């Protein structure tokens, strides 16, 4: 009995602590979009990678694209860079690790294994390959190590070339980019809005590639997590998270075109030239030279990684474009963001935005928070999600296996179990005819027959129930066309495929 009393007291204390935390959070921070987002931001807590049915029901990409899971179960994965030979290096700042996901040699849409490249680092975040070096931005330093692109192994010892960076306060992560012999390092602010004691905070700094001759390159940038260079003119662009505690719809988050010796407003100016209500009084003169954003994202959407399209296979309309990961709001009455958008530069220099990958948030239910984007050697796009520990693979004009089936057991399927042998036999016969009539074997391999290089239709009971596979045929993953099948025909086709369930 004493054990149960102790457990009851412990549970009460935990609930009381959570209640106090919730009250303090509301008083301190105002409206919160989602407790899950807050715990993810503060402690890295998240959820499991979505299953097949959830992916198909929730996640959407433009017509012609397909979604797969390149990796799952990665704790708090953040930034990504591909090696020259197709290995994907990813950072896990809260684990203190940098991982290597081995290239997809068997072309099944999944990485071929993982290993820890470096461990016991101080919150490693930003990554960059330059020549034969892998650069890593820790929260208080930038280091580099020789990397053998052919073997995927380190070829030397890790050396910190920039030290003494401060990482106290809110925005401790550091991001990096290298171009034309210079190393660019973003350093977020310590706070929501304040005057910094360390003038290097809320800036982008620039060093020589060996870490020498550091300077403040641009300032007034509250938290610029994502940086990339436009391929058409080499301009540096950086995302920036606008301040909180001024309501649901103010101020905008920003995309800034970064130029040397420029000031972008924070903490005195918000958005497109608005003096901050807390620190802007008496600072009117700053409006004369503070540079406004090149583009404004919706308030509290938290833009993080940005990647200009260089080598990914894309349809018409993606010239001079970039993808941006919107991590999603926390300081808002209702959630917003939680998606990937594409930005498009028009000939007159204007920028407009379109949704690219959506569905991570729906009616307050959150299954992911996008962080970074990378372009793979297979001309597909890779999107990291630190909430579910998933790396998604988005391809144009290519169908792909979405999940790793090897570790899954057959799903519980009461609708399938309820079918009689006679019903299965009849639907199997009809489904086989539908499969043949629509020339499915030209793109698929079933029981060793069909297109040898096509997608194998095997172990389907591990990924689909009868109902979910029947529903799948309404809006299949590209490039599979959408056939005009009745509900009965879709049911019969599903029964036919599930009844095969062969590993050949």
Alpha carbon of residue 482 to chain centroid: 28
d(CA 114, CA 82): 14
The full DSSP string for 374-409 is EE-TTS-EEEEETTTTEEEEEEES-----S--TTPP
Q: Does 48 sit behind a cis peptide bond, omega within 30 degrees of 0 on the bond before it?
A: no
pLDDT at residue 474 in the model:
78
Residues in the chain predicted with pLDDT less than 70, given as ranges, are: 1-45, 401-409, 453-454, 463, 475, 477-479, 501-504
pLDDT at residue 469 in the model:
87
C-beta of residue 413 within 8 angstroms of C-beta of residue 466: yes
For the chain, domain boundaries: 2-30, 35-76+304-404, 414-500
pLDDT at residue 461 in the model:
79
As assigned by CATH, the class of the 414-500 domain is mainly alpha
d(CA 470, CA 421): 19
pLDDT at residue 502 in the model:
47
Q: Please write the tens of the pLDDT for every residue from 150-194.
A: 999 999 999 999 999 999 999 999 999 999 999 999 999 999 999
């Amino acid at each position: 009995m004493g054990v149960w009393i102790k457990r009851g007291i412990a549970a009460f204390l935990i609930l009381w602590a959570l209640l106090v935390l919730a009250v303090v959070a509301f008083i301190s921070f105002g409206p919160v979009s989602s407790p899950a987002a807050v715990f993810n931001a503060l402690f890295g807590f998240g959820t499991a990678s979505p299953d097949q049915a959830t992916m198909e029901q929730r996640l959407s990409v433009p017509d012609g694209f397909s979604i797969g899971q390149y990796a799952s179960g990665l704790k708090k994965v953040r930034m990504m860079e591909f090696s020259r030979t197709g290995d994907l290096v990813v950072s896990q700042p809260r684990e203190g690790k940098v991982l290597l996901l081995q290239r997809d040699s068997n072309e099944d849409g999944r990485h071929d294994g993982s290993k820890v490249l470096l461990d016991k680092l101080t919150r490693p975040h930003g990554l960059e390959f330059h020549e034969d070096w892998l650069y890593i931005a820790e929260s208080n330093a930038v280091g580099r190590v020789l990397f053998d692109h052919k073997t995927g192994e380190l070829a030397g010892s890790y050396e910190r070339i920039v030290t003494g960076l401060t990482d106290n306060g809110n925005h401790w992560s550091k991001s990096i980019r290298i171009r034309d012999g210079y190393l660019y390092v973003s350093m977020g602010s310590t706070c929501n809005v304040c005057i910094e004691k360390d003038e290097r905070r809320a800036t982008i700094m620039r060093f020589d590639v060996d870490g020498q001759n550091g300077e403040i390159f641009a300032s007034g940038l509250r938290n610029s997590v994502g940086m990339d260079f436009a391929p058409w003119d080499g301009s540096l662009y950086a995302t920036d998270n606008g301040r909180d505690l001024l309501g649901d719809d103010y101020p905008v988050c920003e995309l800034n075109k970064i130029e040397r010796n420029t000031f972008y407003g924070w903490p005195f100016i918000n958005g497109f030239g608005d003096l901050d209500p807390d620190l802007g009084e008496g600072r009117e003169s700053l409006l004369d030279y503070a540079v406004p954003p090149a583009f404004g994202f919706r308030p509290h959407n938290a833009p993080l990684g940005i990647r200009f399209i260089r080598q990914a296979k894309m349809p018409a309309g993606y010239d001079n474009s970039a993808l941006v990961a919107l991590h999603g709001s926390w300081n808002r009455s209702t959630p917003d963001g939680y998606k990937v958008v594409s930005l498009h530069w028009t000939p007159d220099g204007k920028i407009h935005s379109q949704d690219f990958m959506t569905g991570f948030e729906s009616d307050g239910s959150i299954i992911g928070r996008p962080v970074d984007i990378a372009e793979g050697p297979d001309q597909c796009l890779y999107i990291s999600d630190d909430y579910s520990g998933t790396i998604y693979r988005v391809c144009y004009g290519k169908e792909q296996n979405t999940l790793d089936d090897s570790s899954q057991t057959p799903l519980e399927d009461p609708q399938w179990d309820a079918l009689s042998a006679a019903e299965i036999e009849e639907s199997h016969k009809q489904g086989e005819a539908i499969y043949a009539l629509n020339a499915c074997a030209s793109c698929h391999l079933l029981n060793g027959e069909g297109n040898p290089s096509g997608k194998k239709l095997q172990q389907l009971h591990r990924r689909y129930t009868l109902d979910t596979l029947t529903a799948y045929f309404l809006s299949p993953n590209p490039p599979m066309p959408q056939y005009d099948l009745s509900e009965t025909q879709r049911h019969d086709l599903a029964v036919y495929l599930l009844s095969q369930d062969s590993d050949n």
